[in-house]
Structure 1
């Protein structure tokens, strides 16, 4: 089961990708995590440069991304499937997947209004080691600012501010139109199965829709 999860920042990809990972026992490959990880990018100077690009809401150079994705996908734990969260973001990246002959079974697109995206991101808190995501209103932890499982402190992402959020949404919309059309065509050709989910509904309702698609 090889899945691409698409959607603008704040549409619920992080929360639902964790659900898919645990429910179907496949590794989650998140571009943001790869770009921030000391294990994947050992050069501190390059990592700082990448973090600066991310915090400004811009996209990282494709050559860096391709190298990271390729190395991750060909690891042993991905042999039976994987979930790509936030990749591809551009047509060049989609063509890279085709060129590498990486078979994708499902593309699931999340969508909601810009106003709701901003509202959801601004209250977001993250448990960095696990990737678990909470929200002060929509998905609060049992204890304020504390991870439910480990009891460790939750943090906010540096780029979770209005200016950066708007730039990230603009970047996503700029590149996603062609990408969505591409996967709709691939769906018609029966090369992949393409689905859209309006994620303005509850977390449990979204999970129910995901299970209907993948089971």
Structure 2
């Protein structure tokens, strides 16, 4: 994946860039340094409600297809803990409330993470985009998504999984109050992203209430189909 000099400069001066990403006006300034990629990069968004199993399935896709896996949530949590981050508190409070971190912050972190894998062409981005404006901004400033892998799961099953995970995760959002807020946020702001891409015939839906191995059989088949379609279009 080719990154223009301005992109590398942004990534090199990480703290300076991240300090800029705090207001809407600063978001516009940040995006000025980015150039959309058109060099055959394959980006697959992996969406699904909290506890749908996005991370688990992505780990296996990395193993079998050579993707780079980027978790928007992991990047935000790492930035929250980074010494000197000017918006660590903002990220922490937003996550606890089950809300969505401002788009330019998340996209900036994804940019930097992709820059660090600049020799790779396949990216799985899970937990993103969480709102339609994030999707549109990413496609304008980074690159078009080839497909959306949507992991469909009932709230009851997701709740059971998250409460089980909370016993060991230590995550501030793995509690019943935050979980319920995250469900509402997903339905109100994230699911419309799925519908947007469905209208573009870019969504692969996989039910994920079966055991992990059975779900992965379906996930693997769906992603193989996406990659085959991508190859045919070249």
Match in the other structure for 2:126: 85
Match in the other structure for 1:76: 117
1:96 and 2:118 aligned:
no
Match in the other structure for 1:163: 177
Q: Give the number of aligned pairs.
A: 183
- Where do 5+ consecutive residues of structure 1 fail to align? 126-135, 137-153, 188-192
Match in the other structure for 2:94: 53
Match in the other structure for 1:21: 62
Give the superposed CA RMSD: 2.2
Once residues 54 and 14 of structure 1 are traced to their aligned partners in structure 2, the CA distance between those partners, rounded to angstroms, is 18
Task: Return the TM-score normalized by structure 1.
Answer: 0.77
Task: Return the TM-score normalized by structure 2.
Answer: 0.71
> What SS is found at the alignment partner of 2:129?
coil
* Greater per-residue helix proportion: 2
Once residues 38 and 101 of structure 1 are traced to their aligned partners in structure 2, the CA distance between those partners, rounded to angstroms, is 20
Match in the other structure for 1:212: 221
Are the aligned partners of 1:26 and 1:78 in contact in 2 as well (CA < 8 Å)?
no
Match in the other structure for 1:119: 160
Are the aligned partners of 1:29 and 1:85 in contact in 2 as well (CA < 8 Å)?
yes
Alpha-carbon deviation of 1:163? 0.6
Q: Deviations over 1:175-194 (max 9, x none)?
A: 1342122101221xxxxx42
Matches within 5 A, 1:167-206: 167-187=181-201, 193-206=202-215
Once residues 101 and 207 of structure 2 are traced to their aligned partners in structure 1, the CA distance between those partners, rounded to angstroms, is 27
Match in the other structure for 1:132: none
Once residues 70 and 77 of structure 1 are traced to their aligned partners in structure 2, the CA distance between those partners, rounded to angstroms, is 10
- Where do 5+ consecutive residues of structure 2 fail to align? 1-41, 225-234
Once residues 19 and 66 of structure 1 are traced to their aligned partners in structure 2, the CA distance between those partners, rounded to angstroms, is 24
* Misfit runs of 4+, over 6 Å: none
Which deviates the most, 38-47 or 72-81?
Answer: 38-47
Distance 1:38 1:51, change over 3 A: same
